[in-house]
Amino acid sequence: MSNSTPYKESKEDLIRRLKKIEGQVKGIQRMVNEDKYCVDVLIQVAAVRAAINRVGTIVFEHHSRRCMLNAVENSDQEAAIEELIGVLTKFIK
């Protein structure tokens, strides 16, 4: 399979999301440094986890679409399915 970046059309959105996540992580660092209440820290950790999962989902979605289109064009469905299974397995760990 190709190593291209099928998420190019979402690149600006992904960068914006990642910058927001970076800010959230810095906020969590500040909260820990300031000995903030555990529940408040955990809520922010959950928000970061959800945000990073969304970024991964967007990339996976674009990859899956491109992978399947390439498989149909190249009559290589089995290899594409195996790759998708591998990628999904790594992503959900």
**One digit per residue, pLDDT tens: the chain, 93 residues?**
455 677 888 899 999 999 999 999 999 999 999 999 999 999 999 999 999 999 999 999 988 888 788 888 888 888 888 888 998 999 888
Residue 51 CA to residue 31 CA, distance in Å, equals 18
pLDDT of residue 4: 65
Taking the C-alpha atoms of residue 6 and residue 25, their distance in angstroms, rounded to an integer, is 27
